[in-house]
Copies of this chain bind each other. A is one copy, B any other.
Amino acid sequence: MITVFAGGVGGAKLVLGFANLLNPEELTVVVNTGDDEEFYGLYVSPDIDTVIYTLAGLSNEATGWGITGESFRTLGRLKEYGMDTWFNLGDLDFATHITRTKLLKDGLSLSEVSQHIAKSVGVQHSVLPMTNDDAKTIVHTADGKMSFQEYFVKNKCEPVVEYLEFGGKKGVLPSGEVLHALKNSTSIIFSPSNPYLSINPILALSGLRGAISNFKGKKIAVSPIVGGKALKGPAAKLLKEMGADVSAVGVAKQYADICDVFVIDSEDAGLASDIEALGMSVAITDTVMNSKLDKVSLAEFILELCE
């Protein structure tokens, strides 16, 4: 079994590739929940939903969020009721958040709820939140501190980030399901999600970085930066603001102490020696995932590295 750490869109693409190659019992996806937030009184878990919707074939690839063929009638009326509707949720998507909120209120854990939602839309692979506890990311910026979604959606990643604060309170633990998955895995894959916003919230969980350091199997990270640019989202801007190189090397430095292998795009082949100098081996392939074939090919390449 392999465990994949994932955020939203980029992670979900690679996970879809793995899901096409591996049986349900061979793949566990551990998803960032630092982006979770309550909207309109409902508990929204954006990265979990992006992974589940992607695996279920429901995701809206054009927008990068939500469900394909959405409508926005509920949101339109919420606006009439004076709700601040900067966070877009569609009518189909609302059902997910209503279900999650109801089941959490009934006493189920976020892991149980996520599995229920996944199974309901035909997803057989395990999609686990990184923790069952509150671990919201606080983004401290030049314009003040804000939740991840305020930074990402409301303010379109424009504020300059000073630092990131992970976890709703200190010492948030990974869920038992996550620890169980790691114990039973032969490899850990860090998907090409934003290292600061999607992967670091996972690594910040109490004891998790240590567990990964002690992990005996392969540990492979994929660069989300290709040719000095982020494939999607604010990764490049954030690397710069955090004082890192806006390149695969800048990302590699984030993973140097916990990864064995760093996967970079063919376009970045010239950076291999700089990354090897950090103590990781480098694997080079086409990492840009547009088509389904791209996703499966990258997943296949990584699985070969695992052997």
Contacts and interface: CB of A to CB of B under 8 A. Distances in A.
Given A40-B102, A41-B101, A98-B41, A92 B74 contact: yes
9 contacts: A40-B99, A41-B102, A71-B71, A77-B96, A78-B99, A81-B99, A81-B117, A94-B98, A98-B98
Number of this chain's copies in the assembly equals: 2
B71 A83 contact: no
Contacts of A41: 98, 101-102, 105
Q: On chain A, which size bracket covers the interface?
A: 20 to 34
A267 interface: no
Contacts of A116: 81-82
Given A41-B101, A41-B102, A95 B71 contact: no
A91 B120 contact: no
A121 B77 CA distance: 9
A164 B241 CA distance: 66
Q: Which 3 A-B pairs have the closest CB atoms?
A: A41-B102, A77-B95, A73-B91
Interface string A97-110: 01101100100000
A73 B74 CA distance: 10
